[in-house]
Amino acid sequence: MNKILMLSLVTASTLFADSEIEELKKLVLDQQKTIQALQTRMNALEEQKRPQASHADVSSDEAVSEAPKKLAHSEKANKREKTEKVVANEYAAYDTANTTAVSSAQDDTMTESQDSSSSFDQSAFLPGIALVGNMSAVGRDVSNDLYANYAIPGFIHTPGELPFNEKRGFNLNYGELEIFSTVGPYIDFFSAFHIAKDGLEIGELYATTRTLPYGLRLKGGKFNSEFGRISMKHQHAWAFTTIPLVFEAFFGQEGLNDEGLQLQWVAPTDFYLMAGAELMQGSNENSFGDTDGINEVNAYLKSSFDLSDMTTLLGGVTYMQGKNGFGDTKIYGADLTIRTDFDSYSSLTWQNELLYREKPLENSIEADQAGLYSQLVYNYNQNWSGAVRYDTLFKNVSDEPEGLDKYSAMLMYRPFEFTKLRLQYSYDKSKYFAGEQKDVQEILLDLTFEAGAHGAHAF
C-alpha cells in the first residue's frame, strides 16, 4: 500500500512540474515577443530623430564638453571646435550659454514626447537652476574706514557701497542664484539674483529670442552690456577678482548693467562678424545718470579670425552716448584679444581694452579721459592658471593727475570644474585718501563655487 502511495505522489509531482515548465516556456516566449516589439519601436523612433539631430545647433556647452574627444583625432579638429566655441560664446553671450544647453535638451525631450504621444509634456519646460557663491579673505595696508572713502581724482569722488572685498579680514561678497529656461519655441529666459547680507537684488533678468531670421537675435530686460570683452561677464567669470581700473573709473565696480533692449546680427560670412546695438535707460551715474526716458545708446562691432591652426584673434570697436546732468557723454572703445591653444586645457590669452570718454561737466567744461588694461592669462592645465595685469588711467581732466596705475598678479587653482581658489596681489597707485595719494598694497584669497546647471564662459 505504501509503495502504491509513493508511486502516486511521484507521478503527480512529475506531471505538475511538466505543467509548470510548459507555462514558464510560454511566459518566456511572450516576453521575447514584447522585447522584439519594443526594439522595433525604438529603432523607428531613432530613424525619425536622426535627420533632426544632424541639423541641430551645437551649443557652447556641448562644444566645450566634446572638445577633448575631438582633439584626440587631429589638430584640425581641435581648431574647428575652438572656433565654433568662440562664435557661439560671442553670439550667445556669457550666461545665455546655459539657456542654450538647456534648450537643446528640452527640444530633444519635446521631440520624443511628440513622437510617442500627442499629450503636452510640462516637464520639458522645467528651468535650470544654479547657485554661485563668492567669499574672500583680504589683507590691505589701509584701514577699512579710510578705504571706504577713497577717491580717484577726476573719476570717482567716493566709491559708495563696495560690492566686493569691502573690508580687511573676511568678506562674504555675494551669492548668485541663476534661473534659466526655455519658455516656448521662440524665447529663452535668464535671470540672476544677487543675494547679499542686506537683501536680494536683480542682477539680470531678460528674455532672448531663439528663431529670428537673417542671423538676428533680440534681448529685452535688465542685462550687462555686451560691448568689449569683460562687460558681459559676471564677477565669478573674470580672470581676476577685481574689475579693471578703467571700468571701475567709467562705470563703477559692477560695470555697465541697466534696463533696455538689445539687437544683434551675425553676418553670413566665412569669418565671424557680429554687430550689436543697445538702447538702455542710462542710469549708470559714473558716466551717464539721466534716467528720464531712454537716454543711452550703445553700438559695437565684433569679429574673429584664425591666425593659425592654434591661434585666434578677436577684436571689436564700441561707441556709447548717453545723457548726464550737463549734456551728452560719449565713450569710444576698442578691444583686442589673441589666444593660442597648446592642447586641450593649456592656453595663453593676451587681452586688451581701451576706453576714451568725453564727459561734460559743470561750467561748460568737458572732461577728456582715457584708460586701458592689458592682461596675460596662462592656463597651465585644467587645474592651474596664472595671470598678470597692468591698469592705467593715462588721460584726465585738466589740473587732475594722470598716470594713475595699478599692477596685479593672480594664481588660480581649480580643484573641480566649477570651483576655484584665487590668490591675488595688487599694487595700486590710483587711490587718493583725504586729498592725498597713497600707494595701496592688497593681497586677497577668494573662493568661488558654482552648483547646479551651469554652462561654460567665453574666454
Tens digit of each residue's pLDDT (9 = 90 or more) over 240-251: 999 999 999 999
Residue type, 111: T
Q: Residue 238 in 3-state DSSP?
A: coil
Write the pLDDT tens digit of every residue in 356-396: 999 998 888 889 999 999 999 999 999 999 999 999 999 99
What is the C-alpha to C-alpha distance for residues 215 and 266, in angstroms, rounded to an integer?
Answer: 5
- 432, three cell numbers: 587718493
Interatomic CA distance for residues 125 and 448, integer angstroms = 29
Cβ(167)–Cβ(138) below 8 Å: yes
Is there a contact between 355 and 372 (Cβ–Cβ < 8 Å)?
A: yes
User: Which pTM was predicted?
Assistant: 0.74
Question: In this model, does residue 105 exceed pLDDT 60?
Answer: no
Higher local confidence (pLDDT), 55 or 276: 276
**Half-sphere exposure of 331 toward its Cβ, with a 13 Å CA cutoff?**
31
pLDDT of residue 24: 62
Residue range 191-235, pLDDT digits in tens: 999 998 778 899 999 999 998 999 999 999 999 999 999 999 999
The residues, ordered by sequence, that sit 6+ positions from 211 with a Cβ below 8 Å of its Cβ are 185, 186
Spatial contact of 387 and 240, defined as CB atoms under 8 Å apart: yes
Contact assessment for residue 207 and residue 183, using Cβ atoms and an 8 Å cutoff: yes
| 280-320 pLDDT tens trace | 999 999 999 877 889 999 999 999 999 999 999 999 999 99
**Distance (Å, whole) CA 105 – CA 93:** 19
Q: Among 66-80, 179-193, 337-351, 413-427, which is the least confidently predicted range?
A: 66-80
Measured between its terminal Cα atoms, the distance across the chain in Å is 94
Contacts by residues 41-45 (CB-CB < 8 Å, ≥ 24 positions apart): 45/112, 45/115, 45/116
**164: closest CA among 177, 176, 178, 181?**
176
Residues in the chain: 459
Which of 258, 132, 163, 247 has the alpha carbon at shortest distance from 203?
Answer: 258
Convert 370-391 to b/e letters by CB count within 10 Å (16 or more is b): bbbbbbebebeeeeebebebbb
Range of lowest pLDDT (38-47, 83-92, 258-267): 83-92
Residue-level pLDDT at 196 = 82
- DSSP collapsed to 3 states, 3-46: HHHHHHHHHHHHHHHHHHHHHHHHHHHHHHHHHHHHHHHHHHHH
Query: What pLDDT is recorded for position 342?
Result: 95
Grid coordinates representing 66 are 566634446
Sign of CA dihedral 179, 218, 270, 103: positive
Distances (CA, A) of 319 to 20, 346, 457: 85, 34, 25
pLDDT digits (tens, 9 = 90+) for 15-33: 444 555 666 677 767 767 7
pLDDT given for residue 91 in this prediction: 42
Residues in contact with 117: Cβ distance below 8 Å, sequence separation at least 6, in sequence order: none
For the chain, the average pLDDT equals 82
Mean local confidence (pLDDT), 336-359: 96
- Give the pairing of strands 199-209 and 436-437: unpaired
